[in-house]
Amino acid sequence: CSLFLGDQWLPMVPLMQLASIQAIVTLIAVPGDILVQAVGKPKINTAALAGFMVVFGVSILPFCGRYGLQGILLAMISGSIVAGMITLRYALKIVSLAVREFAVICVVPLLSAGLSGLLLTLVRANLGHTPSFIGFSILGIIATVSFIGCAFLVDSLVHAGVFAAMREVFGKLYKKS
């Protein structure tokens, strides 16, 4: 953050991290939201929103009192997780996908991102804390390569077929050009 915005923004880093987690949780539920709307079941989204509001309403005061502004985001994340679980439960029923099959689809990117994040944390700790554009670029390259490598490793362990699907998609794109 200090590389692009300056040191005065450093206190905002924890809030931005929590806001990023909130965005990820929300994005995971978006396909389910769209699906239940497309099949004409808006009551499911209403139930998910009600779940969000209950969890958010119950948790905001204790979280905000204990953690301040970060507590508000934690309450939002908690509510979004509940809303996402409600939506995804019904979306999986609509497409007749077992929870286990869905979990395998999610395992590859989540484990890959987790392993890649761990590797980046270790590399960043050894690079030092002086921000520079070159250091930032190196971390970006390491992140990309480590994510692809971890995705390949996890995909080969769980036999999810992610890379076969990617080859198929990119093969079709290559043939069109």
In the three-class reduction of DSSP (H, G, I as helix; E, B as strand; rest coil), residue 25 is classed as helix
Q: What's the pLDDT score for residue 162?
A: 67
Q: Is the pLDDT of residue 4 over 60?
A: no
Average pLDDT over residues 59-69: 91
Residue 62 tokens read as: 């204790």
Q: What's the pLDDT score for residue 6?
A: 65
Alpha-helical regions (H) of the chain: 13-38, 42-67, 69-94, 99-127, 133-158, 162-176
Q: Left, alpha or beta for 47 (phi > 0: left; psi -120 to 50: alpha)?
A: alpha
pLDDT grade for 108, boundaries at 50, 70 and 90: low
Residue 146 tokens read as: 């480590």
Question: How far apart, in whole angstroms, are the C-alpha atoms of residue 112 and residue 130?
Answer: 27
Report the candidate in 51, 72, 53 with the shortest Cα–Cα distance to residue 62: 72
This prediction has a pTM of 0.61
pLDDT grade for 29, boundaries at 50, 70 and 90: confident
Q: Is the pLDDT of residue 2 over 60?
A: no
Mean residue pLDDT across the chain? 79
Average pLDDT over residues 57-80: 92
Average pLDDT over residues 52-75: 92
Question: How far apart, in whole angstroms, are the C-alpha atoms of residue 90 and residue 3?
Answer: 44
Q: Is the pLDDT of residue 30 over 80?
A: yes
Max intra-chain CA distance, the chain: 57
Q: Which residue is listed with tokens 């309450």? A: 75
